Amino acid sequence: MAVALGAFGAHKLEAILTPEQLGTWDIASRYLMAHAIAALVAGFAGYQRHAMGFLLASALFSGSLYVYLMTGFRPLVFVTPIGGIAMVASWLWLANSIWNKRAG
Protein backbone atom coordinates (compact mmCIF):
# COMPACT_ATOMS: atom_id res chain seq x y z
CA MET A 1 0.00 0.00 0.00
CA ALA A 2 2.82 2.40 0.87
CA VAL A 3 4.53 1.78 -2.47
CA ALA A 4 1.29 2.25 -4.40
CA LEU A 5 0.41 5.45 -2.55
CA GLY A 6 3.94 6.78 -2.97
CA ALA A 7 3.88 6.08 -6.69
CA PHE A 8 0.42 7.60 -7.01
CA GLY A 9 1.65 10.77 -5.36
CA ALA A 10 4.80 10.97 -7.47
CA HIS A 11 3.13 10.29 -10.81
CA LYS A 12 -0.50 11.33 -10.62
CA LEU A 13 -0.63 14.20 -8.15
CA GLU A 14 2.07 16.47 -9.60
CA ALA A 15 -0.54 18.52 -11.43
CA ILE A 16 -2.80 18.78 -8.39
CA LEU A 17 -0.56 19.28 -5.35
CA THR A 18 2.08 21.91 -4.66
CA PRO A 19 5.72 20.82 -4.26
CA GLU A 20 5.35 21.26 -0.49
CA GLN A 21 2.24 19.09 -0.47
CA LEU A 22 4.01 16.46 -2.58
CA GLY A 23 6.79 16.48 0.01
CA THR A 24 4.22 15.85 2.72
CA TRP A 25 2.73 13.01 0.65
CA ASP A 26 6.22 11.52 0.32
CA ILE A 27 6.79 11.72 4.08
CA ALA A 28 3.47 10.00 4.71
CA SER A 29 4.46 7.22 2.29
CA ARG A 30 7.92 6.74 3.80
CA TYR A 31 6.57 6.62 7.36
CA LEU A 32 3.85 4.21 6.29
CA MET A 33 6.44 1.92 4.69
CA ALA A 34 8.76 2.02 7.71
CA HIS A 35 5.97 1.22 10.13
CA ALA A 36 4.48 -1.48 7.92
CA ILE A 37 7.87 -3.21 7.97
CA ALA A 38 8.08 -2.71 11.74
CA ALA A 39 4.61 -4.23 12.10
CA LEU A 40 5.62 -7.28 10.04
CA VAL A 41 8.81 -7.82 12.01
CA ALA A 42 7.06 -7.33 15.34
CA GLY A 43 4.26 -9.69 14.33
CA PHE A 44 6.60 -12.44 13.18
CA ALA A 45 8.67 -12.01 16.35
CA GLY A 46 5.63 -12.71 18.49
CA TYR A 47 4.67 -9.15 19.31
CA GLN A 48 1.29 -9.08 17.57
CA ARG A 49 -0.21 -6.37 19.80
CA HIS A 50 2.78 -4.18 19.05
CA ALA A 51 2.30 -4.81 15.34
CA MET A 52 -1.27 -3.59 15.68
CA GLY A 53 0.05 -0.50 17.45
CA PHE A 54 2.33 0.26 14.52
CA LEU A 55 -0.53 -0.20 12.06
CA LEU A 56 -2.92 1.99 14.03
CA ALA A 57 -0.29 4.70 14.41
CA SER A 58 0.42 4.55 10.67
CA ALA A 59 -3.26 4.82 9.83
CA LEU A 60 -3.61 7.88 12.04
CA PHE A 61 -0.45 9.63 10.85
CA SER A 62 -0.22 8.76 7.17
CA GLY A 63 -3.94 8.30 6.64
CA SER A 64 -4.76 11.73 8.02
CA LEU A 65 -2.17 13.33 5.75
CA TYR A 66 -3.37 11.47 2.65
CA VAL A 67 -7.01 12.35 3.25
CA TYR A 68 -6.20 15.96 4.12
CA LEU A 69 -4.11 16.41 0.97
CA MET A 70 -6.79 14.87 -1.23
CA THR A 71 -9.80 16.59 0.31
CA GLY A 72 -8.48 19.72 2.02
CA PHE A 73 -10.49 18.80 5.13
CA ARG A 74 -8.47 20.91 7.57
CA PRO A 75 -9.50 19.28 10.91
CA LEU A 76 -7.54 16.18 9.89
CA VAL A 77 -4.27 18.00 10.52
CA PHE A 78 -5.06 17.70 14.22
CA VAL A 79 -5.08 13.91 13.91
CA THR A 80 -1.58 13.80 12.39
CA PRO A 81 0.32 14.67 15.59
CA ILE A 82 -1.70 12.07 17.48
CA GLY A 83 -0.51 9.52 14.92
CA GLY A 84 3.07 10.73 15.30
CA ILE A 85 2.90 10.39 19.07
CA ALA A 86 1.39 6.93 18.61
CA MET A 87 4.31 6.00 16.34
CA VAL A 88 6.85 7.05 18.95
CA ALA A 89 4.84 5.31 21.67
CA SER A 90 4.75 2.12 19.59
CA TRP A 91 8.53 2.09 19.31
CA LEU A 92 8.96 2.77 23.02
CA TRP A 93 6.40 0.10 23.91
CA LEU A 94 8.19 -2.47 21.73
CA ALA A 95 11.62 -1.55 23.12
CA ASN A 96 10.31 -1.79 26.67
CA SER A 97 8.72 -5.17 25.99
CA ILE A 98 11.92 -6.53 24.46
CA TRP A 99 13.99 -5.13 27.33
CA ASN A 100 11.69 -6.65 29.95
CA LYS A 101 11.66 -10.01 28.17
CA ARG A 102 15.46 -10.14 28.17
CA ALA A 103 15.75 -8.88 31.75
CA GLY A 104 13.16 -11.36 33.02
Q: What is the pLDDT of residues 17-75, one digit of tens each?
A: 999 999 999 999 999 999 999 999 999 999 999 999 999 999 999 999 999 999 999 99
What is the predicted pLDDT for the residue at 104? 61
pLDDT of 101 strictly over 90: no
- Residues spanned by the domain of 41: 2-9+18-103
- Residue 28 has a pLDDT of 96
Global pTM reads 0.90
The total domain count for the chain is 1
Across 86-104, average pLDDT: 92
Q: Please, what's the b/e burial string for 38-73 (b: 16 or more CB within 10 A of its CB; e: otherwise)?
A: bbeebbeeebeebbebbbbbbbbbbbbbbebbeeee
